[in-house]
Amino acid sequence: MNEQALSQQSGRNRKSRARPVSGRAGRIVGRTLMWLFLLATAILTLFPLMMTLSGSLKTGAEMMTGGSLLPAKLQFGNYGEAWKQANFARYTWNSAFVSIMVTAGTLLVASMAAYVVDRRDFPGKSLYVAVQASMMFISVGAIVLRPQFDLMVALHLNTTLWGVILILISAHSSTFFMLQGFFKAIPRELDEAAMVDGSGFIRTFFRIILPLLTPGLGVAGLFAFRHAWNEYILPLVFTMTNPQLQTLTVGLANLRYGSSAAMQIHLMMAGACMSILPMLLAYIVANKTFIQVTAGSVKG
């Protein structure tokens, strides 16, 4: 504490001495450096995306031999070709279906559980919370795919996308903790008032509390949606026997190996550009509220 106070002191001294000499100049240099840093980072961030865009407009041979930044001639036909070859409509539909169901399912399952855990006491509550917490931290990798798959075969869910959806929903522990944090912020008096008015537990939850949770659900939902939309290994393994069930990520990665065994990176890139759009849209829609709202989630 003493040291801190000292350093504060000396800092103040140094600063007050320095100010008259180079204050404004220093500030300008600082701002310039800051902007250089911001712009450099932005360029580095965008570079691969720009390369994807430019690659999506090149011919296959141009892409393979490489070297050029921009396509010699814009090949807009790649988009049509990718759409057709990757069976894009099908894959996009599969991806959208999986992502939407996972988002809705995760939010429903996690919010109900988080509500009970936050509002009520019941035997085994701490055990339940401990299990959910450990689910977040235990990771044994791809080995779980096999028992999960066997289970889905037993339930006859392996030939549909429901298997993938259920497995993704089952990983809802982080959403659970996120939403629990949000519930804490909603005063209990509200529940009680509703109960006094004769609203039952279930009705209170769906009609009164859940609408108040909308910001939290928005953030958690966006995370769940993004996770499901970009998931690769799970649908890859689960749809190996059913190409018509492949999601966009799997279909796109497969586009590398075209119908005639040669790589078609240009088509894959065209597909990638198209596949980004829905997520970008979701982000723009949620963006306004997104940042402000995440605060609670992280703290929770």
Partner 1 sequence: MSFKWKRLGENSLFLLPSIILTAALGIYPLLWMLRYMFYDYAGYGEALFVGLDNFSRLMRDGLFWESVGNTFVFAGGKLLLTLPLSLLLAVILNGKLRGGKLLRGIYFMPTVISTAVISVVFYTIFNSYNGMVNSLLMKLHLVSQPIDWLGPKHAMLTVILVAVWGAVGNYMLLFLAGLQSIPQDLYESAAIDGANAGRRFLHITLPMLAPVAQMVMMLAIIASLKGYESIMVITEGGPIGKTEVMYLYLYKLLFPVSTGSPVAQQIGYGSAVGFASAVIVGAITGLYFFLSRKMNKVY
Partner 2 sequence: MRKKWLGLSLSLMLAAGIAGCGGNDSSDKSSTTNGKSDGSVAAPSADKGQPVQLKYWTDDRHDQEYIKELINKFNDTNGDNIQVELTVMSENYTQSVDIAFSSNQAPDVLRLKSANTSEFVKKGYLTPIDGYLTNDMKTKFGSLLIDNVNRFEGKVYSLANTGLTMRLVYNKDIFAKAGIENPPVSLQEMVDDAKKITEVGKSEGIYGFALNFKNPKQAFDRSIREILSLSGYQGLGFDMKTGQFDFAPYSQVIEYFKQMHKDGSILPGAETLDIDPLRAQFAAGKIGMYLSFSTEPGVYKDQFPTDIKWAGTLAPTLDGQIKGTSEIVSAGTWLGISAKSMHQEAAWKFMQYMYGDDVLKTYHEKGFGIAIVPSILEQAKNPEIGGMEGFLVGEHDSLWPASPNVTPEGSNYADAFFKYMIAGGDSKTITADLNARYNAALSKAVEKGEITVTPNPGFDSSKPQDK
Q: Name the residues that contact partner 2, by CB under 8 A.
A: 60-61, 64-65, 85-87, 90, 93, 96-97, 100-101, 103-104, 149-150, 153, 158-161, 211, 214-215, 217-218, 221, 225, 236-237, 240-244, 246, 251, 254, 257-263, 282, 285-286, 288-289, 292-293
Which CB atom, from 212 or from 279, has the smaller least distance to partner 1?
279
Chain centroid offset of residue 260 CA: 34
Q: Which does 260 bind (CB under 5 to 8 A by kind): partner 1, partner 2, none?
A: partner 2
Q: Which does 160 bind (CB under 5 to 8 A by kind): partner 1, partner 2, none?
A: partner 2
Token pair recorded at residue 181: 């944090």
Name the minimum Å distance from CB 286 to partner 2: 6
Q: Which residues pair with 2 in a beta bridge?
A: none
Rounded to whole angstroms, the Cα distance separating 81 from 76 reads: 9
Using CB under 8 A, which residues numbered 198 to 217 contact partner 1?
Answer: 201-202, 205
Which CB atom, from 101 or from 167, has the smaller least distance to partner 1?
167
Point out which span in 5-13, 70-78, 84-92, 184-192 binds partner 1 (CB under 8 A).
5-13
Residue 197: partners with Cβ closer than 8 Å, 6 or more residues away = none
Which CB atom, from 84 or from 256, has the smaller least distance to partner 1?
256
* 72 touching partner 1, by CB under 8 A: no
Using CB under 8 A, which residues numbered 235 to 264 contact partner 1?
Answer: 237, 248-249, 252-253, 256
Task: Tell me which of 96, 100, 104, 116 binds partner 1, using CB under 8 A.
Answer: 116
Residue 90: partners with Cβ closer than 8 Å, 6 or more residues away = 244, 246
Q: Which does 36 bind (CB under 5 to 8 A by kind): partner 1, partner 2, none?
A: none
Q: How far apart are the first and last CA of the chain?
A: 30
Token pair recorded at residue 164: 């993938």
* 13 touching partner 1, by CB under 8 A: no
User: If we measure between CA atoms, which residue out of 213, 215, 137 comes closest to residue 174?
Assistant: 137
Dihedral sign for Cα atoms in the order 185, 188, 193, 197: positive
Rounded to whole angstroms, the Cα distance separating 295 from 300 reads: 9
Q: Which does 217 bind (CB under 5 to 8 A by kind): partner 1, partner 2, none?
A: partner 2
What are the DSSP calls for 148-177, one per residue? HHHHHHHTT-TTSTHHHHHHHHH--HHHHH
Using CB under 8 A, which residues numbered 146 to 175 contact partner 1?
Answer: 146-148, 151, 166-167, 169-173
Rounded to whole angstroms, the Cα distance separating 137 from 120 reads: 25
With b for 16 or more beta-carbon neighbours within 10 A and e for fewer, the 73-94 pattern comes to: eebeebbebbbebbbbebbbeb
Q: Which does 221 bind (CB under 5 to 8 A by kind): partner 1, partner 2, none?
A: partner 2
